[in-house]
Amino acid sequence: MSWLACYLFCSGLLLLHKDVACEEYQNVDSTMKRQDVVVLKCAYPQMSKMIQLSWVKNIEGVKHKIAVYNPSRGEHIFPLYNQSVTFLSTSISGDIQLRATAAEEGSYQCSINTFLEGVLLKQFAVINPDTFKAKFAKGQAADTQVLLVPDNSMTLSCGYLDGDKVVQLTWQRVTEEEISMIANFTQSQSFIGYDYRRRIQTDYMPHQNISLTIQNVTTNDVGMYSCHVVTSNGKWTKLFDVSVEGDITMFLIIGAVAFGSLVLVISVVIVICVKRRKKRKRNKKQFKKGIAERNYQRRANPNSYAAPDIYDRANSRAAGYQEESIYANL
């Protein structure tokens, strides 16, 4: 790689810390910002049989084992990382969760041994948030707005060559937490990111448009894309803001459904409350009517109704009373 390409990549694309070597990050699949929790995704492509998946950390050129997953024997995390590393719920995907501190900054590698395809490698760099500054940061206006349709192909057109010789061509996807390398072509080498090796097509010929086509796009492909071109006569950068087609329409539909559901619930509640109120009024009216009828009966026949128990006892005593003769022995 020429010194010019190295300089442009380090200073123009990532703006990494001064003491970080260009060679260490020039062909990294994913550059992550260190946070309290960092997820490193090494998704198993499932196009061949997995023999074993392993994670290592490169420290000063020495590989330190982090974790291993074997389909028949399960997962194993080495003692040094027992407290800071966990496999995610579906360990066959190979994704791990790293509870990061300053000590966890550095270079990580996921390797998958497969039958037929051999060894698949994915490189990660976890860096300090202060050094995680991309030239294409959030807030910078995109040159082109692109709408993707899930399960279809998406083509990004970077610009036209005018007979110039391409020195470097770099495609990246940039988010607030990650810089994913899609492709990096120089005069001496070609590098395609792990997540895009089966999905992209790149074209650049003299007097033709430089373009990138990503196949089978999903909503996970939404974000900011950058194309950086260095030619024998100049350089340029183009930004693409990619979103999902129909986002606004879907939002309006969801909002309308939610509003309709809310109105329906409120209407049902109101109807129930009105019915209950009418029922209470009807019961109260009947209760008052019953009390009025009983009062009327008391006034009409106080002996038989007002105090029926007293009336009955009095009558029973009167009926049972008879005069009897009293005899005395003198």
Domain containing 294: what range? 248-304
Whether residue 115 is contained in a domain is answered as no
Instruction: List CB contacts of 37: < 8 A, sequence separation 6 or more.
Output: 97, 98, 99, 100
Confidence check: pLDDT of 9 > 60: no
Same structural domain for residues 258 and 199? no
For residue 228, the SS3 value is strand
Whether residue 320 is contained in a domain is answered as no
Of 226, 245, 264, the last residue of a domain is 245
Same structural domain for residues 298 and 271? yes
* Residue of higher predicted confidence among 310 and 184: 184
User: Are β-strands 144-148 and 234-244 bridged in parallel, bridged antiparallel, or unpaired?
Assistant: parallel
Euclidean distance between CA atoms 88 and 96, whole angstroms: 6
Measured in residues, the chain has a length of 330
Note the pLDDT tens digit of each residue in 155-199: 999 988 877 888 999 999 998 888 999 999 988 889 999 999 889
Euclidean distance between CA atoms 90 and 99, whole angstroms: 18
Euclidean distance between CA atoms 148 and 126, whole angstroms: 29
Whether residue 155 is contained in a domain is answered as yes
Whether residue 140 is contained in a domain is answered as yes
Same structural domain for residues 143 and 237? yes
Same structural domain for residues 297 and 234? no
Same structural domain for residues 239 and 252? no
Same structural domain for residues 256 and 217? no
Same structural domain for residues 174 and 222? yes
DSSP character for 232? T
Of 204, 227, 245, the last residue of a domain is 245
Same structural domain for residues 142 and 241? yes
Confidence tier at 130 by pLDDT (50, 70, 90)? confident
Same structural domain for residues 233 and 159? yes
Whether residue 93 is contained in a domain is answered as no
Note the pLDDT tens digit of each residue in 257-309: 777 777 788 877 888 887 888 878 777 777 777 777 777 776 666 555 444 55
229: domain CATH number is: 2.60.40.10
Same structural domain for residues 253 and 239? no
Average pLDDT over residues 103-119: 90
Euclidean distance between CA atoms 172 and 185, whole angstroms: 12
- Count of domains forming the chain: 2
Instruction: List CB contacts of 6: < 8 A, sequence separation 6 or more.
Output: 22, 23, 26
Whether residue 73 is contained in a domain is answered as no
Whether residue 57 is contained in a domain is answered as no
Confidence tier at 14 by pLDDT (50, 70, 90)? very low
Whether residue 97 is contained in a domain is answered as no
Confidence check: pLDDT of 17 > 60: no
Same structural domain for residues 238 and 300? no
Same structural domain for residues 274 and 188? no
- Contact status, residue 123 vs residue 48, Cβ threshold 8 Å: no
Q: Please, which contacts does 200-209 make with residues 24 or more away whose CB atoms are closer than 8 Å?
A: 202/169, 202/171, 204/161, 204/166, 204/169, 205/161, 206/161, 206/163, 206/164, 207/160, 207/161, 207/162, 207/163, 208/160, 208/161, 209/157, 209/158, 209/159, 209/160
Confidence check: pLDDT of 241 > 60: yes
The residue written with tokens 């990050």 in the block is 25
